[in-house]
Structure 1
């Protein structure tokens, strides 16, 4: 089987990051316009909060935005990889797909597990991602945890045709 290696997967990640960065940029611009059109004069309650708990409010806004961003990114990866596309936009651009051990598309739960297990690779200084360059089936740590594979789409089509021919011949 032709598994997608480290560099192809890295390029797909870069494409997805650029796409998501563009989406967040547009959302940010929309937010700025909405704020510019809104009322900039804080209420007396907000004024007292700003003087007393400005750091707390700023921290909570930052935490809220970070969690929202993670949620959007998680949904992007999990929904795309569990869809009939079997891949994110970056992976589609490079002709690779994510499959389970039976060469089927991922369930949303498995795609979510695959996404969230990437946190382990971040925690161990990206070693989990680098593993894709050295394992026999080009699996990163999150692929091993979720029991998934990243294959070349042409290879998958060939495998599926072979399976259909075998089934028709029986």
Structure 2
């Protein structure tokens, strides 16, 4: 099996980050327009926070935006990687897909576990991601945790096709 290496995965991540950044920018613009042209009355949450001043309102809005962005990122990665595509747009552009230990597409739960495990890969100074360059099957920490592999799509399709051929000949 041809496993996707560090640089190919990094480039896929950059492509996905640009896509998500564009989505976040559009959501931010829409939110800004709503704030400017919408109701000028503060929400009940903002009203209760007004006594704490502007920093508290800003912090709450920033927290809300961060949680929204995190939720969108999670759904993007988990839904795409558990779909029939088996990959995000960035991975598809580079011809790589994410599979489980049986070369099957991920369940939504496994794709979610893989996504949330990236937090651990990040908080240990990105070492969890750098591991990709040094493990035999090019797995990052989150891949090891979720039992997933990032592989070349063409080679995977070839292997699956050969397996299907063997199975069809064996059933004759």
What TM-score, normalized to structure 2?
A: 0.91
- Aligned counterparts, 1:15-26, within 5 A: 15-26=15-26
How far did residue 65 of structure 1 move? 1.5
Displacement after TM superposition at 1:162 (Å): 1.0
Change (3 A) 1:109 1:46: closer
Indicate the residue corresponding to 2:156 in structure 1.
Answer: 156
Partner of 2:146: 146
1:121 to 2:118 alignment: no
Query: 1:166 matched to which residue of 2?
Result: 166
Within 5 Å, give how 1:127-142 maps onto structure 2: 127-142=127-142
Number of aligned residue pairs:
169
Structure 1, unaligned stretches of length 5 or more? none
Paired residue for 2:81? 81
- Cα separation, partners in 2 of 1:164 and 1:48, compared to 1, 3 Å: closer
The CA distance in 2 between the partners of 1:48 and 1:27, in whole Å, is: 25
Cα deviation, residue 28, structure 1: 1.2
Q: Which runs of 5+ in 2 are unaligned?
A: none
2:2 is aligned to 2
Q: How does 1:31-46 map to 2 (within 5 A)?
A: 31-40=31-40
- Distance in 2 between residues matched to 1:31 and 1:61, nearest whole Å: 11
Normalised by the length of structure 1, the TM-score is: 0.92
Q: Which residue of 1 aligns with 2:94?
A: 94
